[in-house]
């Protein structure tokens, strides 16, 4: 059984703990042991220390990485920006002189980062370590008959040489393959690779453009596919694409209500988890999907 330190970040455990439960449940069923990282802190998010002081950013990255290192494990991360922040930080700290300078700061907090612990995204672990075959062998229920579209987590794609884990060059397909392994059919549409619009700095700077991204995606999904649901693997994509459909529907004359799930939530449901634990919190009602698991 492989073992990872579960790095939850801030949004998931505070606002969408059902996603956390989905992760804990599904990974355990698949033989991946997740341990908590006592004393972990915000990754740090790109709008915080990375935007104000590079060594403060790296020190906070190293704080979190050192907690995993103390337990002799790598980190498992679902949130796209947590993953990217930690992954880019650990990449920068591969350079020994940088890491030494960071360790001088880290030492004030009584910690040390050797450069061993590395973050892995949940999709990476599921696809490259657990594997599609093992997942299929464990399923108790399937998503047969459901049509889905996917939102690829951008932070796991670029720059590919630092954060990437797709098995080949060309369009990403890890999320698609994992979802198809659960029995869903994945439909494609013209704006599949467009940004969801959910990044904090972006929607603060121009809320209209950020909502426009989501609206144009939802309109394209409706026009070009028969999708029953949207599947993501990033908490920002999940919260933005779910919560903002209500905003887009207000005063619009058109009601948007396409259910949004994190992949691990669907995986947990297919592995036998009760919906009230792993798919309980949403703005768009999801009963038409979750009822089949009751």
Partner 1 sequence: MIDLEQAEVIPDMWREVFESEDIRFCFNCGSCISVCPASNADPPLLIRRLARMVLLGLEDELLDEDTPWSCVSCSKCEEVCPMGVRPFELGLAIRRWQVRNDETRIPPSLVELYKEGYTQPVSRALETRAAVGLGELPTIDKDPELLKAYQKMLMATDVVSNNDYMFKG
CA atoms within 13 Å, Cβ hemisphere of 290: 20
Q: 82 or 184: whose CB is closer to partner 1? A: 82
Nearest to residue 200, comparing CAs of 10, 8, 7? 10
Buried b (16+ CB within 10 A) or exposed e, 204-222: eeeeeebbebbbebbebbe
Q: Is 87 near partner 1 (CB under 8 A)?
A: no
34 binds partner 1 (CB under 8 A): no
Per-position DSSP letters for 59-89, written without gaps between them: HHHHHHHHHHHHTT-EEEE-SHHHHHHHHHH
Residue 71: CB minimum distance to partner 1, A:
12
Q: Is 109 in the site for partner 1 (CB under 8 A)?
A: yes
Site for partner 1 in 47-76 (CB under 8 A): 47-56, 59-60, 63
Structure letter (DSSP) for residue 125: I
Site residues for partner 1, 234-293, by CB under 8 A, read 276-278, 280-281
CB-nearer residue toward partner 1: 185 or 247: 247
Phi and psi of 151, rounded to 5°?
Answer: -115, 105
Q: How far apart are CA 98 and CA 85, in angstroms?
A: 16
Q: What angle do CA 149, 153, 154 make, to 5 degrees?
A: 120
Among 20, 124, 192, 262, binds partner 1 (CB under 8 A): 20
Out of 18, 124, 192, 242, name the contact with partner 1 by CB under 8 A.
18
Q: Which of 110, 137, 170, 251 touches partner 1 (CB under 8 A)?
A: 110
Which is nearer to partner 1, 207 or 255 (by Cβ)? 207
Residue 184 is given by DSSP the state P
In the shown chain, the binding pattern of residues 172 to 211 toward partner 1, with x for contact by CB under 8 A and - for none, equals ----------------------xx-x-x-xx-xxx-xx--
Q: Binder to partner 1 among 159, 167, 171, 285 (CB under 8 A)?
A: 159
C-alpha distances in Å from residue 264, one per residue of 16, 20, 182, 208, 260: 13, 9, 11, 31, 12
Q: Which burial class, exposed, middle or buried, applies to 201 when counting CB atoms under 10 A from its CB (0-12, 13-18, 19+)?
A: exposed
Which positions from 116 to 145 touch partner 1 by CB under 8 A, shown as an x/- string?
------------------------------
Residue ranges binding partner 1 (CB under 8 A): 8, 10-11, 13-15, 17-18, 20-21, 24, 36-42, 44-56, 59-60, 63, 81, 84, 104-106, 108-111, 154-155, 157-160, 163, 194-195, 197, 199, 201-202, 204-206, 208-209, 212-213, 276-278, 280-281
């Amino acid at each position: 059984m492989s073992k990872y330190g579960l790095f939850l970040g801030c949004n998931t455990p505070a606002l969408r703990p059902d996603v956390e439960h989905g992760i804990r449940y599904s990974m355990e069923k698949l033989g991946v042991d997740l341990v908590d990282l006592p004393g972990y802190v915000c990754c740090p998010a790109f709008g915080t220390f990375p935007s104000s002081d590079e060594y403060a950013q790296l020190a906070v990255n190293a704080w979190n990485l050192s907690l995993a290192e103390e337990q002799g494990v790598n980190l498992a991360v679902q949130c796209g920006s947590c993953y990217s922040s930690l992954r880019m930080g650990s990449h920068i700290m591969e350079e020994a002189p940088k890491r030494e300078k960071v360790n001088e700061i880290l030492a004030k907090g009584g910690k040390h980062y050797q450069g061993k612990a590395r973050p892995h995204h949940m999709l990476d672990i599921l696809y490259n370590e657990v594997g599609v075959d093992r997942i299929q062998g464990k399923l108790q229920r399937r998503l047969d008959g459901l049509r889905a579209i996917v939102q690829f987590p951008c932070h796991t794609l670029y720059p590919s040489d630092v954060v990437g884990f797709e098995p080949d060059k060309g369009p990403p397909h890890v999320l698609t393959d994992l979802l198809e392994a659960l029995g869903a059919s994945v439909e494609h549409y013209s704006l599949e690779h467009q940004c969801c619009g959910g990044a904090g700095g972006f929607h603060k700077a121009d809320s209209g453009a950020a909502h426009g991204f989501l609206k144009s995606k939802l309109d394209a999904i409706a026009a070009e596919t028969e999708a029953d649901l949207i599947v993501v693997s990033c908490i920002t994509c999940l919260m933005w694409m779910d919560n903002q459909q209500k905003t887009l529907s207000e005063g619009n004359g058109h009601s948007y209500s396409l259910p949004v799930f994190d992949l691990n939530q669907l995986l947990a449901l297919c592995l036998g988890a009760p919906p009230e634990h792993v798919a309980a919190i949403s703005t768009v009602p999801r009963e038409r999907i979750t009822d089949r698991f009751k």
